[in-house]
A and B are shown apart, each in its own frame.
Chain A
Amino acid sequence: MNTVYKISFAFILFIMGLQAHAGGGWPQPKNSGYFKLGQYGIIADNYFTPAGDIVDITTTGYYSTYLYGEYGLTDRLTAVVYFPFFSRSTLNQLEDSEGNLIQEGESVNSLGDTDISLKYNLINKSVAVSVALTLGLPIGNASGGTSGLLQTGDGEFNQMLSVEAGKSLGSEGKYYVSGMLGFNNRTEGFSDEFRYSLEGGAHFGKWWSILRMYGIKSLKNSSESFQPNNGIFSNDIEYVSVSPEVVYEAKENWGVSMGAGFAFNAKRVLAAPAFTAGIYLKI
């Protein structure tokens, strides 16, 4: 029996919803950029089963410190990188009420799976529309810890094609809405995915308040003979998450952000809120 298993990496996908507020359908102007140093974390002692029920699990955590950057190669072509340069996955120790050890805790630290994207702006008028190709590089640890149960990557190279659109509303762009539709082709026998998001933001003084919905629907097209190393945890993941976020513009070119992501209507993912905080810089 294959003993290499992995913890769900679905929660990492929350990051994509949490970090992208500089994106939408708008490109970065040539030689301009948006860069963010962020911290992401989730601790969960509940789990969404394949049927969507919530069950108790031994507490597990995932933490990531990442760099996110968007840079305008031209006025229409923007390069995007998400690089979790420190990722940590943990599993709690188990003790009985008298302090006797039942199960050792463990952790793994490594680089995390990295996304690189090229986004091309098709329309930049009252509505901005872009298409993007995102490559998910499996440079994280796909079977960490003494048991091989912990991971900081899913071990597969995925490619996502997406269409993003955004529109500014109100005077001086005080409000905006944006959305995304994407198809994620996963390798190594994993099911492909349909992804979507809808986001709205409002500007008050130096503050942005943002509310984002992000969803993943599995196409459940992995082959019948597919025996995922990570069993229940990484294939056919589905969820809809809602992520409120606030951004404080300390100066014109930098600020801080804090947000949280809450999944519901989910399957095969950790059932706990995810939190993120970061500092961004515009050039």
Chain B
Amino acid sequence: MYKKLLIFLFFALLLYSCIGTDIVEDEVFPENLQITSAASSLKVGESFQFRAIYFGTSGKMEDVNLTWRTANPNILSIAQSGIATALDTGTTYVIVSTASISDSVTVTTGAATVVSETERRGTFAGLNSYDVEGDFILEQKGSSLELTFSGNFSATQGPGLHVYLTNNNNSVSGGVDLGELKANSGAQTYEIEDTELFNAYSYIMIYCQPFGVPFGLGTFDN
């Protein structure tokens, strides 16, 4: 009787203590196409490179064929590479589209070229009853981006906290991992090599990577 019980306990342990597999369910996201590099004003005679990013239903960035056009080609012409040239004064739209979705920005042609915003700001708030607070700024710095948390940043201690760019306010699906959170409080900076990401995401998430728990969400104000 002793032996049988011991054997039972042994095999129960073996079966119970194996490393299992968790399947992360696919999330379906709405398609998203965004013009990420834009000039709000363009000097007549000058050119500017417009760029756009497409997110598929998987939430991930995908390469797709983009079609560029302007609402008034007499004022502003644009090549399929996204390079636009101001031909005359006026106001028109730059439109980019895929087979199923489009995005547009207003462009004024005239005396000067003004590149749209070069910085985005936002504020953190906690999720799932964890405390995360403080301000942040995402800036274009030459050929890269720089995400800076202000000195008033603080986050609850946690295991394996990472910083993500994401378009989902409760998951990091389709997001970009910027690396491990450098400190639980105070100013800190994360460099992002791909400038295309400047306008691509709506949120900064502080995320417990090993256990898959969002700790905090930073929402861009612009």
Contact = CB atoms under 8 A, between A and B. Distances in A.
Interface string B1-37: 1100110010011001111111111100000000000
B178 interface: no
A49 interface: yes
Contact of A256 (B5, B25, B211): B5
Contacts of A277: 9, 12
A51 interface: yes
A189 interface: no
Given A6-B159, A39-B13, A47 B213 contact: yes
A120 interface: no
Contacts of A50: 129-130, 156
Interface string A84-99: 0000101111111100
A63 B13 contact: yes
Given A58-B211, A63-B16, A250-B1, A232 B22 contact: no
Interface string B155-172: 011111000000000000
Interface stretch (B73-81, B113-121, B180-188): B180-188
B170 to A, nearest CB: 10
Contact of B128 (A53, A58, A254): A53
Interface string A204-216: 0000000000000
A22 B181 CA distance: 48
Given A53-B128, A107-B19, A232-B130, A58 B157 contact: no
A243 interface: no
Given A65-B13, A279-B6, A58 B23 contact: no
Given A43-B16, A53-B129, A58 B160 contact: no
Interface residues of A, number: 52
A230 B9 contact: no
A14 interface: no
A233 interface: yes
Contacts of B5: 256, 279
B142 interface: no
A1 B21 contact: no
B107 to A, nearest CB: 40
B209 A1 contact: no
Nearest to B21: A93
Interface string A152-169: 000000000000000000
Given A1-B180, A39-B12, A149-B159, A45 B22 contact: yes
B128 A49 contact: yes
Interface residues of B, number: 36
Interface in A48-63: 49-53, 55-61, 63
B22 A279 contact: no
A190 B126 CA distance: 24
Contacts of B23: 95-97
A90 B19 contact: yes
Nearest to A55: B128
Contacts of A232: 130, 156-159
Nearest to B16: A41
Contacts of B16: 41, 43, 61, 63
Interface in A122-161: 147, 149
Contacts of A82: none
Given A39-B13, A96-B24, 15 more contacts: A3-B180, A5-B160, A49-B128, A56-B212, A58-B22, A59-B20, A63-B13, A92-B19, A92-B21, A93-B19, A93-B20, A103-B209, A105-B20, A106-B19, A254-B2
20 contacts: A1-B181, A1-B183, A50-B129, A51-B129, A55-B213, A58-B210, A58-B212, A59-B22, A63-B13, A90-B18, A91-B19, A93-B19, A97-B26, A105-B21, A107-B19, A232-B156, A233-B159, A250-B1, A254-B2, A279-B6
Interface of A: 1, 3, 5-7, 37, 39, 41, 43, 45, 47, 49-53, 55-61, 63, 65, 88, 90-97, 102-103, 105-107, 147, 149, 227-228, 230-233, 250, 254, 256, 277, 279
Interface of B: 1-2, 5-6, 9, 12-13, 16-26, 128-130, 156-160, 180-184, 209-213
Q: Which 4 A-B pairs have the closest CB atoms?
A: A51-B129, A5-B159, A231-B157, A57-B211
